[in-house]
Copies of this chain bind each other. A is one copy, B any other.
Amino acid sequence: MNKFFEILKKSSVSNTRLGTINTSHGKINTPAFIFCGTKATVKSILPQQLYSTNTQVILSNTYHLMLQPGPEIIAKEGGLQSFTQWNGPMMTDSGGYQIFSLGHGSVSQEIKGRNNNIQKKSLIKITEEGATFRNYLNGDKVYLSPEKSIDLQRYFGADLIFVLDECTPFNVSKKYTENSMYLSHRWAKRCLNSFHSPLGKYDSNFGSSGAQSLYGIIQGGIYEDLRKIACEETCSQDFDGLAIGGSLGGNKEQMYEIFSYCENYINKSKPVHVLGIGGMDDILHGVSCGYDTFDCVSPTRIARHGIMLSKSKIKGLNLNNSKFKDDHSSIDEKCNLTEINKFTKSYIHHLFKSNEILGMVILSIYNIWFMNNFFEEIRNSIKNDQFESYKKEILVNLGK
């Protein structure tokens, strides 16, 4: 088997790089976008459509899968790839993000600095040992520890897996962020130990030991000194990859500052994943810092709300808008996907006006194709020493 991560080319003016992550389910050309298949499905999309859109890798969520269908069902099927029939590389998160979103309302709002605590809290407690929370499906108490998270991810069998961390929110004190970071560091070591231990009753049948790669997660919130400590600690451990997690600040400037803090202290021989980032501008900044992979629900989530990604509008085109009713142009004349490229905007507008699932399907396929095409352009621009001008052109078109 090839080395897990290979750097094929590096920019002479920045940390931007071209690479390959090798997994037992195939290679990932980086920079790459990772699509969310939360509950073992990229919502509304067949594996065949993931292939046709040149998707490289998808991410499922340990928290959701541990509750439904549970690890035994997936292990019996031979792991997530057999279960989902997506035979390319997969990633699972550790459950940390969801568990702490349950404690702090919506983390996706929280880590961006918006404290709208409207989601019902169901975290019961976090201790040194682990976290106890309520099963959102039936109210049962559920316990998750670093060891359990790793075991679950080994049963699921994704290629790229994560340590359990506390995903620190934005609206907490520096002291909370610091204590939380140290807790995450202790949990990370327990995850490493668990990762290298026998799997228990599924070990002989279903464990995919050796075939999985473990990512450590860098916390530290918006504080440069904490990010430095987190980078040094995480990089000193025997992880296959690194991830930038926790709060990325309350605005884009703070996010890009955090990107820079980590860029300075990170081990550049390992692949770096940025958790939960999907904006084209944010991705371009991340690529500038030498970050290799990005995941976000947004391309497929906005698709289900009628929004198609666009290089000329940062928020995309909202096909619900009445101006598209009489727009008989095709979805995108540059799109070469024969399964969807003949549909007109008028037809897709009609589907959303009629609450038809097919509208969601078409735009999900389109947005996945769009993101994969965007990353292919990024990789080509790096290959041709033109990333900086490509980045500038995209940002100018987006009005950024």
A residues neighboring B (CB under 8 Å): 39-41, 43-46, 48, 64, 68-69, 73, 76-77, 83-85, 325-326, 328, 338-340, 342-344, 346-347, 349-351, 353-354, 356-358, 360-362
Contact = CB atoms under 8 A, between A and B. Distances in A.
A353 B65 CA distance: 12
Please state the number of chain copies in the assembly: 2
Nearest to A67: B354
A261 to B, nearest CB: 38
Q: Which of A339, A344, A357, A360 has the most CB of B within 10 A?
A: A357
Q: What are the 4 A-B residue pairs with the smallest beta carbon separation, nearest first?
A: A44-B357, A69-B350, A39-B354, A41-B358
21 contacts: A39-B354, A40-B350, A41-B354, A43-B356, A43-B357, A44-B357, A44-B358, A44-B361, A46-B361, A48-B339, A68-B350, A68-B353, A69-B325, A69-B346, A69-B350, A73-B325, A76-B326, A77-B346, A85-B343, A357-B361, A361-B361
A164 B326 CA distance: 28
A347 B84 contact: yes
Nearest to A137: B353
A378 to B, nearest CB: 29
Given A68-B353, A328-B76, A328-B77, A342 B85 contact: yes
A45 B77 CA distance: 27
A305 B325 CA distance: 31
Nearest to A47: B339
B69 A358 contact: no
A79 to B, nearest CB: 12
B46 A339 contact: yes
B358 A360 contact: no
A353 B85 CA distance: 18
A103 B69 CA distance: 45
A69 B325 CA distance: 8
A39 B40 CA distance: 30
A73 to B, nearest CB: 6
A349 B39 CA distance: 12
A44 B361 CA distance: 7
Nearest to A76: B328
Given A358-B43, A358-B45, A350 B85 contact: no
Contacts of A85: 342-343, 347
Given A73-B346, A343-B85, A357 B357 contact: yes
Nearest to A365: B46
A356 B83 contact: no
Nearest to A87: B342
Contacts of A325: 69, 73
Contacts of A349: 69
Contact of A44 (B40, B44, B68, B347): B44
A138 to B, nearest CB: 12
Contacts of A358: 41, 43-46
A178 B340 CA distance: 49
Contact of A68 (B69, B342, B354): B354
A61 to B, nearest CB: 11
A77 B356 contact: no
B46 A350 contact: no
A77 B354 contact: no
Contact of A351 (B41, B73, B344): B41
A347 B39 CA distance: 11
Contacts of A339: 46, 48
Given A69-B353, A357-B360, 7 more contacts: A40-B347, A46-B358, A48-B339, A73-B325, A77-B346, A83-B347, A357-B361
A40 B338 CA distance: 19
Contacts of A338: 48
